Structure 1
Amino acid sequence: MPVNADLNAEIRILNLFNLDSSLEGIKAHKDADDTSKAAIARLYHKGLVTQEDGGYLTDLGRTCAEHIQVALRILGSKTEA
């Protein structure tokens, strides 16, 4: 699956969640950029967050965010040549 702009925005949003606390969510404020608002709405329609403007991660969303955050840590780490 190619990483297009929409998917990249969704990955960026899922990376914002603090996985150390299930009591922390996110909310797209009225001044948020349209790309972020649309990404959050798509995550809601996919069943990954609880509200169309953010909210909390669902169980599926938490699993997805965990995998994304681990992958980003791995890809962002320095490798030895």
Structure 2
Amino acid sequence: MPFSPVHLAELNLLLQFPSTSTQEGIKVHASSAAAETVQAAESLFEKGLISRNDGGYLTPLGCEAVELTQKLQAVLASE
């Protein structure tokens, strides 16, 4: 199954979270963020990866997802 545009938006949003600290989060502003980013935040919240539907902090599952996403990005970006 290929990554859908929704999955890609979720992966890109996960990559925006700081991976070095669980005490730092992000805020997705519905008034200025792209619609797919707002939708990705809501989806990640529903899946239990982030603490709020507009960003917030990573949950333990979210931390694991960010780690895996970073690894996948590194593998795909390697030459």
| Identical amino acids, percent of aligned pairs | 38
1:21 match: secondary structure: coil
4+ residue runs over 6 A deviation: none
2:57 match: secondary structure: strand
**What TM-score, normalized to structure 1?**
0.91
Q: Distance in 2 between matches of 1:21 and 1:5?
A: 28
Task: List gaps (5 residues or longer) in structure 2.
Answer: none
**What TM-score, normalized to structure 2?**
0.93
Measured on the aligned residues, the alpha-carbon RMSD in Å equals 0.8
Q: 1:5: which partner in 2?
A: 5
Rg larger in 1 or in 2? 1
Task: List gaps (5 residues or longer) in structure 1.
Answer: none
Deviations 1:20-65 (A, max 9, x none): 1111111111211111000000000000000010000000010011
Q: 2:25: which partner in 1?
A: 25
Residue correspondences, number? 78
Q: 2:60: which partner in 1?
A: 59
2:15 match: secondary structure: helix
Q: 1:69: which partner in 2?
A: 70
Q: Distance in 2 between matches of 1:33 and 1:67?
A: 24
